[in-house]
Structure 1
């Protein structure tokens, strides 16, 4: 019996060895298969950081036509501020080349600027699209929508957004803290307006020789001063005869009401024969500038005056309390201005020389 068992074991031994070999081999193959399956999984591509955009508009979301007009007249690379600004940051490792298009729907043309930023760089792009005439004929605060579209160099859109804005009245002047933006009052000085020229046509009739020649270089400084007094008196008299008188109308709406006010354009004041102090100041400045004379608007706390240089290249000015146009005489208006301005310390008197404003790019609003 034992012999039979031994012979049977001897016959089956090769099969036992094969099973044992396969049993030892299987875990190794299983391990290899696991490794193979791991190698076949797709490794996610590294993510590149995306450009970042920050969009702002106007003064805390309010767009003043006076600033829109000024900025749109500046070259893109010379602007100190814009109607709408886009700050672009490039956190990537390659240059960023894109195109930004901006407009205020229904109110402006579209302005386009190109972006070319080095890796890690950022830049503020200031936009001032040309506004349509309707902006300068708008007399109340109104809602609008600014649209920003950004595309890559192939034209594919990469970013779009809209921004609610409020368009201020064309008559709203933003003075800013301590009258920082006072020079922009020159935007209301409109020497070529037909109503302004009509006043000068009337005023010449109140001079002896029916002339308003402005400065005449062949005259001495003393003679020019006399002529300036004569012409200023004629303008004052013409406006008084037309019935121009003081009417306060400076209320405005929106934010910044403590540093902004309504200022009527000369054509409006002349059409209504009504003007408060700042309305009348820009009206007189328009008349003087039309004659080629150096006009100034003087701002003091709560009041405004108009002035004109007495002679070409002279440091002396004739000032008028123009709010008194329909109330008193020319001489009384001159005396009132001198007395009123003398009450304030020099740092409280802001004199805006219209020619200086023109030289800095501040031109009449449409």
Structure 2
């Protein structure tokens, strides 16, 4: 696939009988620099079949999106029949959760040192400390002046063509840009929570997403967008954001128990365990300097 994927061999089949159909699977691997792709482009894929001493080649063209373009569903908008169709690709959201990103690690270390005064929630498995850490993430975003960008969110209804593809900033871009959509803030929280050993959860409801975690079989949530933004009201305290998140969670669980498929849980660790892979990102001194510029605000 051009400069992005080298030739990938699939399973060799000894023989195919007349009229027989055989399905083989291929898992091509992108080259590491795929994470640097920032624009969409027209690409050509090549397939080569060798049989009976003869070789056959086929080509197909397609549009390759940028690393930031997330397609919520592979089902065309006019063919979506249920809300599950709208979120056909949501299992791939953890690809954006980057706990091992050096910039996320650096930001997390600053939260632990400046906001939580050295405490680490993940190793204790104590609910109170985990909740305090969740609030600490919120407090760090509040102190740094991070703004909720309410210009778009997750799809709100079936057949919504405008929200089928969304440009999602990586956690490092949310941190250094100091702004994020609801889904971007949720992914940022999930990255930080996973970095500290917690079990991150992203809650999806029509047109919105918010973060939390699971511990000892119980779920917890916080409204990350309560940091506010231009034209959408003031900034809530960490306690208020937690209270709002837990109230939303109660409504979420009630709706989910009634079978409302619009309410979905993204279990990050479970999806990664099942094969979803996060992006591998390199360190960046320029982005570290941007984090350093925020540190004085974290001491407030």
Q: Which residue of 2 aligns with 1:262?
A: 167
Structure 2: how far apart are the matches of 1:209 and 1:319?
22
Name structure 1 gaps, 5 residues minimum: 1-103, 218-223
Structure 2: how far apart are the matches of 1:139 and 1:208?
35
Per-residue deviation, residues 168-222 of structure 1 (Å, max 9, x unmatched): 12122233314233221111111011121122222123556522141425xxxxx
**The residue matched to 1:304 in structure 2 has which SS?**
strand
CA distance 1:208–1:306, shift in 2 (3 Å): closer
CA distance 1:119–1:261, shift in 2 (3 Å): same
Deviation at 1:282, TM superposition (A): 0.5
Larger radius of gyration: 1
Per-residue deviation, residues 203-258 of structure 1 (Å, max 9, x unmatched): 123556522141425xxxxxx1211122222222222222222124659xxx9654
Name structure 2 gaps, 5 residues minimum: 74-84, 154-159, 229-234, 281-300
Structure 1 outlier segments of 4+, above 6 Å? none
CA RMSD of aligned residues (A): 2.5
Alignment of 1:167 with 2:64, yes or no, is: yes
TM, length-normalised to structure 2: 0.75
Q: Which residue of 1 aligns with 2:99?
A: 191
Q: Which residue of 1 aligns with 2:30?
A: 131
Matches within 5 A, 1:301-320: 301-309=206-214, 311=215, 314-320=216-222
Q: 201-210 or 272-281: which moved more?
A: 201-210
Matches within 5 A, 1:1-366: 104-113=1-10, 114-115=12-13, 116-152=15-51, 154=53, 156-157=54-55, 159-176=56-73, 177-206=85-114, 209-216=117-124, 224-248=126-150, 257-309=162-214, 311=215, 314-325=216-227, 327-343=235-251, 345-346=255-256, 347=260, 348-366=262-280
Structure 2: how far apart are the matches of 1:208 and 1:281?
20
Higher relative contact order structure (alpha carbons within 8 Å, sequence separation ≥ 6)? 2
Structure 2: how far apart are the matches of 1:188 and 1:261?
13
Q: How many residue pairs end up in the alignment?
A: 250
TM, length-normalised to structure 1: 0.62
**The residue matched to 1:123 in structure 2 has which SS?**
coil
**The residue matched to 1:332 in structure 2 has which SS?**
helix
Is the CA contact 2:220–2:249 (under 8 Å) kept in the aligned structure 1?
A: no
Deviation at 1:295, TM superposition (A): 0.6
The structure richer in strand per residue is 1
